[in-house]
Amino acid sequence: MTYRQRKQRRRNRRPRGRPLLIGLTVIGILAGLGAATTAGYVLAVAASAPPLAELKPIDQGESSVIFAANGTRLGYVQSDVVRTPIDWERMPQNLKDATVAIEDANFYEHSGVDYAAIVRAGIKNLESGRSLQGGSTITQQLVRALYIDNPEQNIERKIREAKLANELEQDHSKQWILESYLNDVPYGTVGGRTAIGVEAAAVTFFSKRARKLTLPEAATLAGLPQAPSQYNPFHNPQAAVTRRNEVLDQMLENGYITAAEHGEAISTPLQTKQGTRYTQRREPYFFDFVQDQLIERYGVGVYRRGGLRVHTTINPKMQDVARDAINAYWADPAGPGSALVSIDPNTGEIKAMASSGTYQERTFNLAAQAHRQPGSAFKTMVLTAAVLKGVDPNSTSYRSSGSMTIDVPGSVPWEVKTFSGSGGGTMSLTRATLSSDNVVYAQLIMDIGPDSVCETAKLLGVTTKLDCFPAEGLGGLRLGVTPLEMASAYATLASGGIRRKPTAIRKVVFPDGKSEDLAGGEGKRVMTDGQAHEVTQILEMNMTGGTGGSAYYGCPSAGKTGTTDEGKDAWFVGYTPKLSTAVWVGYPDANIAMPGAQGGTYAAPVWNAFMQPASDGDCTDFAEPTEPAEFSPFYGKYAGSSYDSDYGSSYGDDSYSEDGTDYEDAGAYQEPPQPEPETQAPPAPEPTPAPAPAPTPETGGGGVQTP
């Protein structure tokens, strides 16, 4: 037998199973090495995740809500996310059960990671060839929502997520985890706003609070977090029903509902109703104003993060009264519009801010944004400036003539004239105020200086830039003023000389529970109470013996009318010790005139219709000053300091026509030439009866501005 034959024979005698055994041994060794390697990899990745205690939860945000002064909700601040966290007790049990049944059946048994579920999900995905199940527990999903920003779809993220989920289970109870999950996961996007949490989802998809959800509704919501877009009931109702029924099947299988409850819920049609709670707003003009104040004070970052509870100053009852007063005279959409602002002079709180028309027709806030010419209502700034300089309105007199040319240093002469073309003779400043004499007031402006008028207006609360031209004292402002500014300026007089910035916000509560009070405060004293009282006394006379008769309602009040050239704007601004209110009437388009319009017949009745019910029977008189005003003889270029013999007798017997004089500005202080205004003459409203005769209606003409 050759060597080759013997070698072959020995090979044939070896056991047949030996190669298989060796192969299995090698595979086992490799598997063990693989498992060890995999375990090492998993441990290394897990170790790379920071401890849960060192992580700060992602701020999910919360919808900021704005309240009226009486605590009722005005609306939610608009944002890309709507979220209102609720506590455990307000979450319905069927929603909790439905969520556990469909998302994590072993939620109450595992410690953050359900390994059996992961295996089942893997097998299911392999069998289908698609990724149908993820195997993540509720705890893992919560970790993803709270601690992992922009999660990537990879194994490393899953490993870190599992580690953090285990730590979260050690630190918190199952109730805390489920409650947090139900408040923090997204349920879908509708109208560009994503509903985060069950409360926002219940409102968005069913227009109800979460605690009122039925079993079919709860099952519908419980099925959304896995694929919010795919199962959105507004976009894909059939898929939503199929998913809801899967949830109900799981609830039955896990013993959360009976067969009868399951059958009834399955047969219930999908009954969604898109909610408007997060989009609907009351008092939209005021709401916008509040949002602007929030951004101005806290910045856009704090505003957008949300979670603010904003308590405002607006009084809903006064708002209704303001709208009723405006609509009683100016409800015709084709006619002029009107705006009203009312402020508490003792706090600066805005109590009412209303406009004619609707927010759908016009989003521009006439009360806070419309800069219009104030007419004679601005003469109050001139009168106040004179009093601050020690000018006695009762003993300082001027001569009123039909027309007058006044030299203005460094400019062309200023032509001023009365409307009637005839003068009123020598009269005191008090009488000139009641008759709204432009010629007298033009002389007063030049005597005390246009700059002092300008500074006094700012001192009282006018914030729009002024040019300090002489014509501004008669209402000829280049940029105009808003009703809000005028109400604020007169409020300084009503408070006895203390200026307070008008505010729409009383208190802001931040997400961390801290708060800031914004209303009230001491304000800033800008004049003595005696100086303010002196102006108030004259404006009180104007209510009963001057141009403000239609505004007077029988209680102590002070005010001034204003009408601009060609009747483009009509005003009444007045106050009591408790409220300072400005009313403007005119077309939103500033080029449209109202021939024959006057503040006394167009705006004063609206003021009356608001103030009488808004005062709610309060008839408090103005307080006597603690520091009476001090005066000294005043001799300007035009003034005389001789007592007007007619004062004290004639002003109470005569009814002065509002703005019975006019002026012409020869170019230096007038606005640039304007196109001829479109004329629309609405019927003048019937003025509210007043104790004193109403002023005789007159219209302006010839000048740039009729005060």
Residue 649 has pLDDT above 90, yes or no: no
Residue 264 has pLDDT above 50, yes or no: yes
Write out 565-585 in H/E/C secondary structure. HHHCEEEEEEECCCCEEEEEE
Residue 205: inside a domain? yes
Q: What per-residue confidence (pLDDT) applies to 59?
A: 67
Residue 26 has pLDDT above 80, yes or no: no
Q: Are 74 and 67 in contact (CB under 8 A)?
A: yes
Least reliable range by pLDDT among 22-31, 429-438, 502-511: 22-31
Least reliable range by pLDDT among 54-68, 78-92, 530-544: 54-68
Residue 675 has pLDDT above 70, yes or no: no
Q: What per-residue confidence (pLDDT) applies to 633?
A: 87
**What 8-state DSSP symbol labels residue 547?**
T
Q: Using the 3D structure, point to which of 266, 293, 312 is the last residue of a domain.
A: 266
Q: Which segments of 449-581 does DSSP mark as H helices, in order?
A: 450-460, 483-494, 529-545
Residue 100 has pLDDT above 50, yes or no: yes
Kindly tell me the burial class for residue 498, based on how many C-beta atoms sit within 10 Å of its own C-beta (0-12, 13-18, 19 or more): buried
Residue 332: inside a domain? no
Would you place residue 49 in the very low, low, confident or very high pLDDT band (cuts 50, 70, 90)?
Answer: low
CB atoms closer than 10 angstroms to residue 333? 10
Q: What per-residue confidence (pLDDT) applies to 91?
A: 97
Instruction: Tell me: do 361 and 249 sit in the same domain.
Output: no
Instruction: Tell me: do 363 and 258 sit in the same domain.
Output: no
Residue 160: inside a domain? yes
Tokens 């990899």, located at residue: 41
Instruction: Tell me: do 228 and 356 sit in the same domain.
Output: no
Q: Which is higher by pLDDT, 116 or 622?
A: 622
Instruction: Tell me: do 431 and 535 sit in the same domain.
Output: yes
CA dihedral 140, 146, 152, 156 (to 10 degrees): -50
Cα separation, 455 vs 461, in Å, equals 10
448 half-sphere exposure, CB direction, 13 A CA radius: 28
Q: What per-residue confidence (pLDDT) applies to 148?
A: 73
**What 8-state DSSP symbol labels residue 637?**
S
Q: Which backbone phi and psi does 575 adopt, to 5 degrees?
A: -155, 160
Instruction: Tell me: do 260 and 361 sit in the same domain.
Output: no
Contacts for 673 with CB less than 8 Å, ≥ 6 apart: none
Residue 22: inside a domain? no
Q: What per-residue confidence (pLDDT) applies to 345?
A: 97
Tokens 């609509």, located at residue: 327
Q: What are the start-end ranges of the E strands in 401-546? A: 403-406, 414-418, 425-428, 498-499, 505-509, 515-517, 524-525
Give the pTM: 0.77
Cα separation, 179 vs 91, in Å, equals 8
**pLDDT tens digits along 304-320:** 778 899 999 999 999 99
Cα separation, 287 vs 73, in Å, equals 11
Of 687, 414, 478, 651, the residue nearest 570 (C-alpha): 687
Of 431-445, 509-523, 525-539, 641-655, highest mean pLDDT: 525-539
Domain of 563 in residue numbering reads as 347-502+523-618+638-679
Would you place residue 368 in the very low, low, confident or very high pLDDT band (cuts 50, 70, 90)?
Answer: very high
Least reliable range by pLDDT among 81-90, 313-322, 512-521, 698-707: 698-707
Question: What is the mean pLDDT of the segment spanning 458-463?
Answer: 96
Q: Using the 3D structure, point to which of 212, 246, 266 is the last residue of a domain.
A: 266
What percent of the chain is predicted at pLDDT more than 90? Answer: 60
**pLDDT tens digits along 185-215:** 999 999 888 999 999 999 999 999 999 999 9
Question: What is the mean pLDDT of the segment spanning 661-678?
Answer: 33
Structural domain count, the chain: 2
357 half-sphere exposure, CB direction, 13 A CA radius: 22
Q: Are 482 and 369 in contact (CB under 8 A)?
A: yes
Of 90-94, 438-442, 654-658, 699-703, highest mean pLDDT: 90-94
Q: Which is higher by pLDDT, 108 or 670?
A: 108
Residue 153: inside a domain? yes
Question: What is the mean pLDDT of the segment spanning 254-258?
Answer: 96
List C-alpha distances in Å: 685 to 229, 367, 391, 577, 593. 56, 21, 38, 28, 16
Q: What is the DSSP string of 530-541?
A: HHHHHHHHHHHH
**What 8-state DSSP symbol labels residue 695?**
P
Of 31-40, 324-333, 520-529, highest mean pLDDT: 324-333
H or E stretch at 368: helix 366-369
Would you place residue 238 in the very low, low, confident or very high pLDDT band (cuts 50, 70, 90)?
Answer: very high
List C-alpha distances in Å: 274 to 84, 91, 98, 201, 670. 17, 20, 22, 10, 55
Instruction: Tell me: do 74 and 208 sit in the same domain.
Output: yes
Cα separation, 53 vs 139, in Å, equals 16
For residue 202, the domain's CATH number is 1.10.3810.10
Q: Put residue 381 in one of left, alpha, beta given phi > 0 → left and psi -120 to 50 → alpha.
A: alpha
Instruction: Tell me: do 352 and 253 sit in the same domain.
Output: no
H or E stretch at 81: strand 81-83
For residue 581, the domain's CATH number is 3.40.710.10
Would you place residue 153 in the very low, low, confident or very high pLDDT band (cuts 50, 70, 90)?
Answer: low
Would you place residue 165 in the very low, low, confident or very high pLDDT band (cuts 50, 70, 90)?
Answer: confident
Number of helices (H), then strands (E), in the chain: 22, 22
Residue 456 has pLDDT above 80, yes or no: yes
Kindly tell me the burial class for residue 611, based on how many C-beta atoms sit within 10 Å of its own C-beta (0-12, 13-18, 19 or more): buried
Instruction: Tell me: do 235 and 378 sit in the same domain.
Output: no
Secondary structure (3-state) at 560: strand
Would you place residue 599 in the very low, low, confident or very high pLDDT band (cuts 50, 70, 90)?
Answer: very high
Of 608, 377, 382, 349, the residue nearest 491 (C-alpha): 349
Residue 475 has pLDDT above 60, yes or no: yes
How does strand 425-428 pair with strand 515-517?
A: unpaired
Residue 576: inside a domain? yes
Instruction: Tell me: do 242 and 353 sit in the same domain.
Output: no
Cα separation, 327 vs 466, in Å, equals 33
Mean pLDDT in the chain? 82
List C-alpha distances in Å: 657 to 380, 387, 417, 529, 601. 17, 25, 16, 30, 11
Q: What per-residue confidence (pLDDT) applies to 666?
A: 27
Q: What per-residue confidence (pLDDT) applies to 681?
A: 44
Of 568, 567, 546, the residue nearest 557 (C-alpha): 546
Contacts for 105 with CB less than 8 Å, ≥ 6 apart: 117, 250, 254
Residue 519 has pLDDT above 90, yes or no: no
Q: What per-residue confidence (pLDDT) applies to 247?
A: 97
Question: What is the mean pLDDT of the segment spanning 464-480?
Answer: 93
> Both tokens of residue 67?
């309240």
Residue 7 has pLDDT above 80, yes or no: no
Question: What is the mean pLDDT of the segment spanning 680-687?
Answer: 46
Cα separation, 432 vs 482, in Å, equals 25
Any idea how long the chain is? 707
Q: Which amino acid is at 500?
A: R
Residue 287: inside a domain? no
Cα separation, 537 vs 611, in Å, equals 19
Cα separation, 457 vs 381, in Å, equals 5
Q: Which is higher by pLDDT, 616 or 643?
A: 616
Contacts for 67 with CB less than 8 Å, ≥ 6 apart: 73, 74, 309, 310, 311, 312
- CA–chain centroid gap for 488, Å, is 19
**pLDDT tens digits along 551-579:** 999 999 999 999 987 889 999 999 999 99
Of 320, 329, 318, 324, the residue nearest 550 (C-alpha): 329
Q: What per-residue confidence (pLDDT) applies to 693?
A: 32
Residue 92: inside a domain? yes
Instruction: Tell me: do 428 and 532 sit in the same domain.
Output: yes
Tokens 């002196």, located at residue: 534
Would you place residue 678 in the very low, low, confident or very high pLDDT band (cuts 50, 70, 90)?
Answer: very low
Instruction: Tell me: do 368 and 229 sit in the same domain.
Output: no
Would you place residue 15 in the very low, low, confident or very high pLDDT band (cuts 50, 70, 90)?
Answer: very low
Of 390, 379, 386, 426, the residue nearest 563 (C-alpha): 379
Q: Are 163 and 46 in contact (CB under 8 A)?
A: yes
Tokens 């999908």, located at residue: 270
H or E stretch at 400: strand 397-400
Q: Using the 3D structure, point to which of 220, 242, 266 is the last residue of a domain.
A: 266
Q: What per-residue confidence (pLDDT) applies to 645?
A: 37
Least reliable range by pLDDT among 42-46, 286-290, 452-456, 686-690: 686-690
